Amino acid sequence: MYYTVFDTPVIRTIARCFSVFMLKVMGWRTAGRLPDIPRFVLIVAPHTSNWDFLIGFFAAFALRAKVYWMGKASLFRFPFGSVVKWMGGIPIDRSKSNDTVKQTIAQFFRHEKLIIAIPPSGTRKRVKEWKTGFYYISRGAGVPIVLGFINYKNRTAGFGPVYVPVGDIETDMREIQAYYADIQGRYTA
């Protein structure tokens, strides 16, 4: 992948201190630890607000995680495109099918260390069913899924368990979603 804010020595230290401070000021805390595995898909749920990005970004710094994340291509336009990319963003053109799953799997095969955060809802809107791209990326790249969360109920963000899919999507999705049963997004309706 490319050089990000997480790789910039002085800035990464300042950003970590600032993130820890801001989480505290905002009344948030982190939970869990960065798993000691070099490559994984990090799902972050629920995703119901633009605030989720900021809280997730602060939590990533506080927990010392170099995270890449997927965002809609319009976020990467001039004049802020290179800054958004430097923050770990990967542009996704959602207007057409681009084999995003295959492209992401290829990135996992090219890099020894890689964490890609994906909101399984695929949007900030409330959805009944999650998108399954994260699942197929995990299976295709042979990497586990780490269950990340942003819980507004107790103002906690962080890493949950590592989940290794067994290959039965219905069973796997049911078990993954069960973990999020008591985790509340900013907006619930």
Specify if 47 maps to a domain: yes
Mean pLDDT check: name the lowest of 48-62, 71-85, 94-108.
94-108
Contacts 24+ apart (CB under 8 A), 12-19: 12/61, 15/61, 16/61, 16/62, 16/64, 18/61, 19/57, 19/58, 19/59, 19/60, 19/61, 19/62
pLDDT confidence band for 48 (50 / 70 / 90): confident
Specify if 174 maps to a domain: yes
Predicted local distance difference test score (pLDDT) of residue 91: 82
Predicted local distance difference test score (pLDDT) of residue 119: 87
> What is the extent of the structural domain holding 139?
5-179
Specify if 184 maps to a domain: no
Closest to 70 (Cα-Cα) out of 33, 42, 39, 37: 42
State mean pLDDT over 107-128: 80
Specify if 188 maps to a domain: no
Angle at alpha carbon of residue 123, lines to 122 and 124, rounded to 5°: 145
pLDDT confidence band for 97 (50 / 70 / 90): low
Specify if 187 maps to a domain: no
State mean pLDDT over 107-123: 86
Which residues are CB-contacts of 170 (< 8 A; sequence separation ≥ 6)? none
| Position 14 pLDDT exceeds 90 | yes
State mean pLDDT over 151-169: 96
State mean pLDDT over 93-103: 75
State mean pLDDT over 158-183: 94
Specify if 143 maps to a domain: yes
Specify if 185 maps to a domain: no
What total of structural domains would you count in the chain?
1
Q: Are 72 and 84 in contact (CB under 8 A)?
A: no
Specify if 111 maps to a domain: yes
Predicted local distance difference test score (pLDDT) of residue 187: 75
The token pair at 49 is 């607000």
Predicted local distance difference test score (pLDDT) of residue 96: 63
Predicted local distance difference test score (pLDDT) of residue 29: 97
